[in-house]
Amino acid sequence: MRTISALFILIFFLFYTSSGFVAGGKLFSTVFGVEYFTALTIGVLVIISYTFLGGFMAVCWTDFFQGLLMVLAITIVPFAAMNGLGGISSTVDIIRTIDPSLLTPFTGSDGSLISLISVVSLLAWGFGYFGQPHILVRFMAINDPEEIKQSRAIAITWVTISLAFAVIVGLVGRAYVPEFLAGASSETVFMVMVNSLFHPIIAGIMLAAILAAIMSTADSQLLVAASAFTEDIYRLVFKSDATQKELVWMGRITVIGISLLAYYFALDPASSVLDLVAYAWAGFGAAFGPAIIFSLFSRKVTRNAVLGGMISGGVMVILWKQLSGGIFDLYEIVPGFILSSIVILLITKMDREPASEIQEEFERVQQSA
């Protein structure tokens, strides 16, 4: 089971890491005016360097400070832009003039109601949080169980602020940037606004927030992927007596290997950060989300059920992504999550119950939570 989960981690983190590299390439290209290939190479080297040298604790501390920088930037920039446009009411009027549908939550750009498939697909993003290894590993690293409740509150607050202001940045950006940035270029609207609004020094600090967002995600993904390969594939399958020094070096080699593959996938400047993230998010959510939820709330879930759920959910996401049109426009996490849940329930009913010792341990953990 560990080997199967490690394979899914490596597959989907490859695309997730690639999305970070694309974002980094677009950042350096916009800020320094260099071609995308050069900008991408610079961004990849920066991310690999401090992930390779720092390790988990370095990543945790840098993530903390980078998170603070991101909160400041994503809240300051839209308000500065609205001030330049004459205030909130003036900004709303400009947005309404450009496209009234932008201010109605269930209306598309053509004025028609968005489809049920689109609504379900948007809401289904929430399922992904249950299965993200680079997020879960932060909670696993907590020393005191009493801190979990506090950590949960902090995490929810952070997500609420960041997602809400990301939407505001997009709306204000449509009003502030006269020429509409189409396609993948629309993902540079924050950078365009910052360059226009602030003195170069302040703009540099604000743009560093984007680099912080990229690095804090990419480094976590690379470390989790490296750990999955070294512990769950290399040591478990190939060399059970590997020394700690060997594992450290194998982890570093894995970081470089995944980075190079992700770099290859990121070479296309037309790549969409959102599309790459969505695919990886769905893969993790469907493969690991149901397994984690059922394992937390049912003492009868078996190893075989979890394994079946992981395989069915992950494979469904991969297959669904290859199809399009009609029902296949539904976000792939939905069928993947549903199939994984069904498989877990069916195998649990057909399989033998876990040993009494395991069920007793489950009860003890439940009571202490």
**Is 249 or 59 the better-scoring residue by pLDDT?**
249
**Is residue 288 predicted with pLDDT exceeding 80?**
yes
pTM given for the model: 0.78
Token pair, residue 2, equals 């560990």
Q: Which of 44-53, 189-198, 277-286 has the lowest mean pLDDT?
A: 44-53
Averaged pLDDT, 240-266:
83
> H or E stretch including 156?
helix 147-176
CA 67 to chain centre: 14
Tell me, what's the pLDDT at 58?
A: 59
Indicate the SS3 state at residue 297.
helix
Q: What is the DSSP string of 194-242?
A: HHHHS-HHHHHHHHHHHHHHHHHHHHHHHHHHHHHHIIIIIIIII-TT-
CA 63 to chain centre: 14
Span 79-116, pLDDT tens digits: 988 988 888 889 888 888 887 777 787 776 666 778 88
**Is residue 165 predicted with pLDDT exceeding 80?**
yes
Indicate the SS3 state at residue 327.
helix
Indicate the SS3 state at residue 107.
strand
Instruction: Domain ranges for the chain, please list them.
Output: 2-271
Tell me, what's the pLDDT at 310?
A: 92
Are the beta carbons of 24 and 228 closer than 8 angstroms?
no
Span 205-235, pLDDT tens digits: 877 777 777 777 777 778 888 888 888 887 7
Token pair, residue 191, equals 């950078």
Alpha-carbon separation of residue 332 from 262, 280, 294 (angstroms): 21, 10, 20
Amino acid identity of residue 277, one-letter, is: V
- List, in order, residues 6 or more apart from 1 with CB less than 8 Å away: 303, 306, 307, 310
Span 111-139, pLDDT tens digits: 677 888 888 998 898 888 888 887 777 77
* CATH no. for 2-271: 1.20.1730.10
Averaged pLDDT, 160-170:
87
Which residues share a beta bridge with 348?
none
Percentage of the chain beyond pLDDT 90 is 11
Which residues share a beta bridge with 107?
113
